[in-house]
Amino acid sequence: MITQTDIQLPVMEQFLTLQGEGRFTGHAAYFIRLGGCDVGCVWCDVKESWDMSKHPLFDIDILLKNVLDSGAKIAVITGGEPFMHDLTDLTKILHDHKIRTHVETSGAHNISGSWDWVTFSPKKFKAPLEGTLKMADELKVIIYNKSDFDWAEKYAHQVNENCLLYLQPEWSKSIEMNPLIIEYIKQHPQWILSLQTHKFLNIP
């Protein structure tokens, strides 16, 4: 039974799809993209998410209903930067209904809520907080230019020893960066290639 609550969050979009990146690539997941971001990546492909005031507020019990109706067993909370919001109540209500909670964060804000999987994707535009590094299940570094390999190694040495390490080409630079990433992983096999498979498949 869904419990009524007055907790609301600004939602840019929500949809059932396949996870396109990282450890859970190919798994069905219900994505909830929250509005609001103060990181400001110049190559961000969802800049329309940045201003949270432009997005409608949804009660978290409605978000739960949408997840349950989708049939997905995983809810991915993304943004924007999701931890601009307190997500304690959202993760609790999802867990109460046996839904796995996954999140993708830049680490620029304190983590709230209870998470089954934390994807940490640090950005140069706003430094991540140390606490996020230790909670990360996977580190995903976007490779936009050659200097980003050094950036990746900087954080690979700060996450916990069980954290998976992914290198992912920035979509608009993928033709240029893919060969470099492939060669880098050959020489540094602790890293794994992550591709935005949802873009290849033309799905959300």
102 — pLDDT class (breaks 50, 70, 90): very high
CATH number at residue 72: 3.20.20.70
Residue 202 has pLDDT above 80, yes or no: yes
Tell me if 102 sits within 8 A of 127, measured CB to CB: no
Residues in the chain: 204
For the beta carbon of residue 149, count every other beta carbon within 10 angstroms: 18
For the beta carbon of residue 187, count every other beta carbon within 10 angstroms: 7
Residue 117 covered by a domain: yes
Residue 1 covered by a domain: no
List of residues 6+ apart from 73 with CB closer than 8 A: 28, 98, 99, 100
pLDDT of residue 3: 54
| Total count of domains within the chain | 1
Q: Kindly list the distances between the CA atom of residue 140 and the CA atoms of 11, 50, 57, 184, in Å, as whole numbers in the listed order.
A: 24, 21, 29, 15
Residue 82 has pLDDT above 80, yes or no: yes
Residue 64 has pLDDT above 50, yes or no: yes
Residue 34 covered by a domain: yes
Range of the domain at 69: 8-201
pLDDT of residue 143: 95
Q: Which of 127-136 are b and which e, b meaning 16 or more Cβ less than 10 Å from the residue's Cβ?
A: ebeeebbebb
Residue 2 covered by a domain: no
63 — pLDDT class (breaks 50, 70, 90): very high
**Integer distance in angstroms from the first to the last C-alpha of the chain?**
29
Continuous H helices in the chain: 60-70, 88-96, 130-135, 148-156, 174-187, 197-201
Q: What is the pLDDT of residues 17-32, one digit of tens each?
A: 999 999 999 999 999 9
Q: Rounded CA gap, 107 and 130, in Å?
A: 8
pLDDT of residue 5: 63
pLDDT of residue 2: 52
* pTM beyond 0.85, yes or no: yes
List of residues 6+ apart from 62 with CB closer than 8 A: none
Q: What is the pLDDT of residues 143-197, one digit of tens each?
A: 999 999 999 999 999 999 999 999 999 999 999 999 999 999 999 999 999 999 9
Residue 64 covered by a domain: yes
Nearest to 31 by CA among 99, 88, 95, 113: 99
| Mean pLDDT, residues 41-54 | 78
pLDDT of residue 38: 85
Beta bridge partners of 139: 120, 165
Strands (DSSP E) found in the chain:
8-18, 28-34, 57-59, 74-78, 100-105, 117-120, 138-143, 164-169, 191-193
